[in-house]
């Protein structure tokens, strides 16, 4: 049997064959090349990102040393105001010595004094409270508070009560009015929070 094709059918077959050839060529050559180009573009973009990060790191490299220096200075400054001690007993003794030194400088006779249980403030610091009382003139009290404010360690006044030793309901006759006051206060000094952990472990 002889297969005959007309002109239109022959052209259709030729076009189909050409299309198949183009598709095969694209599938074997063009598509793989496109995939390689896409992968290369992604790799180039990744390398560019890494290069930008490297350049930023190089630019900041000189700043890191300065930042570390500033951080170390701030840490040293903050630690300088904390009572240095190996345990709570030594920290309490150091605080008591500081306050008694201020009182002696002002000529005050400190009466009752008591160191309370330390209170943890955060992960870094704890506060040691100290209750004390004394009689003084108003001037001595002001000088005492000013000396406490300028201590090398961070000491704060938590509470303060001042009352006259004697109350005058009328002007005294032949004697001067006594102006002394009775002072009762609670002070707080900072110590390392690690001292509380150490104290609990030892117990």
User: Which pLDDT value is given to residue 40?
Assistant: 61
pLDDT, tens only, 20-30: 666 666 566 66
Distance CA 83, CA 147 (A): 17
CA atoms within 13 A on the CB side of 98: 28
Counting as low any pLDDT under 70, the low residues of the chain are: 1-10, 13, 17-44, 58-80, 166-178, 198-203
> Nearest to residue 200, comparing CAs of 117, 116, 123, 122?
117
User: Which pLDDT value is given to residue 99?
Assistant: 92
User: Which pLDDT value is given to residue 179?
Assistant: 77
pLDDT, tens only, 108-121: 888 888 999 888 88
User: Which pLDDT value is given to residue 158?
Assistant: 93
DSSP letter for each residue of 53-120: HHHHHHHHHHHHHHHHHHHHHHHHHHHHTSBP-SSHHHHHHHHHHHHHHHHHHTT--EEEEEE---EE
């Amino acid at each position: 049997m002889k297969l005959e094709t007309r002109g239109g059918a022959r052209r259709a077959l030729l076009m189909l064959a050409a299309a198949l050839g183009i598709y095969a060529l694209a599938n074997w050559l063009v598509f793989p090349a496109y995939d390689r180009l896409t992968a290369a573009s992604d790799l180039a973009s990744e390398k560019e990102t890494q290069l930008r990060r490297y350049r930023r790191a190089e630019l900041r490299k000189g700043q890191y040393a300065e930042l570390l220096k500033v951080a170390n200075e701030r840490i040293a400054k903050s630690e300088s105001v904390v009572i240095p001690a190996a345990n709570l007993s030594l920290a309490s003794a150091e605080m008591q010595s500081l306050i008694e030194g201020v009182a002696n400088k002002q000529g005050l006779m400190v009466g009752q004094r008591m160191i309370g249980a330390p209170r943890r403030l955060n992960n870094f610091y704890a506060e040691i409270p100290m209750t004390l009382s004394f009689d003084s003139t108003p001037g001595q009290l002001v000088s005492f508070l000013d000396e406490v404010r300028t201590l090398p360690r961070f000491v704060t006044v938590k509470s303060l009560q001042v009352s006259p030793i004697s109350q005058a309901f009328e002007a005294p006759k032949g004697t001067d009015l006594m102006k002394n006051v009775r002072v009762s206060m609670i002070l707080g000094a900072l110590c390392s929070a690690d001292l509380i952990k150490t104290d609990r472990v030892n117990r």
